[in-house]
Amino acid sequence: MPAQQPADGYPGLSMLQACVNGSRPPRDHPAIPFSPKQIGADAEACIAAGATELHIHPKADDGADTMDAEVVAAVVTAVRERLPGTPIGVTTGAWIGDADHRLGQVRQWTVLPDYASVNWHEDGAEDLAALLIERGVGVEAGLWTVDAVRRWVASPVRDQCLRALVELPDGPPEDEVPALAEQMLAPLRESVPVGLILLHGEGSSAWPAIGYAGWAGLDTRIGLEDTLVRPDGAVAKDNAELVIEARRQLWQGYP
Query: Where along the chain do its domains lie?
Result: 16-252
Residue 253 has a pLDDT of 56
Reported as a single tens digit per residue, the pLDDT across 176-222 is: 999 999 999 999 988 888 789 999 999 999 999 999 998 888 999 99
Q: What Å distances lie between residue 186 and 169, 179, 244, CA to CA?
A: 17, 10, 30
- Average pLDDT of the residues in 153-170: 96
Reported as a single tens digit per residue, the pLDDT across 107-132 is: 999 999 999 999 999 999 999 999 99
CB 6, CB 215: distance < 8 Å: yes
Q: What is the CATH number of domain 16-252?
A: 3.20.20.70
Residue 250 has a pLDDT of 85
* DSSP string covering the chain: --SSPPPTT------EEEE--TT--GGG-TT---SHHHHHHHHHHHHHHT--EEEE--B-TTS-B---HHHHHHHHHHHHHHSTT--EEEE--GGG--HHHHHHHHHH-SS--SEEEEETTSTTHHHHHHHHHHTT-EEEEEE-SHHHHHHHHT-TTGGGSSEEEEEEPS---GGGHHHHHHHHHGGGTTTS-GGGEEEEE-GGGHHHHHHHHHHHT-BEEESTTT-SB-TTSPBPSSHHHHHHHHHHHHHH---
Residue 157 has a pLDDT of 96
Residue 194 has a pLDDT of 79
Do strands 220-222 and 197-201 pair parallel, antiparallel, or not at all (unpaired)? unpaired
Residue 71 has a pLDDT of 98
pLDDT-wise least confident of 5-19, 35-49, 122-136, 196-210: 5-19
Helices 239-252, 206-216: inter-axial angle, 10-degree rounding: 40
Residue 7 has a pLDDT of 37
**Residue 252 — very low, low, confident or very high, per pLDDT cuts 50/70/90?**
low
Residue 57 has a pLDDT of 98
> What is the C-alpha to C-alpha distance for residues 144 and 26, in angstroms, rounded to an integer?
25
Reported as a single tens digit per residue, the pLDDT across 80-98 is: 999 999 999 999 999 999 9
Looking at the predicted structure, is the pLDDT value of residue 8 above 60?
no
Helices 239-252, 36-49: inter-axial angle, 10-degree rounding: 30
The percentage of the chain sitting over the pLDDT mark of 90, rounded to a whole number, equals 87
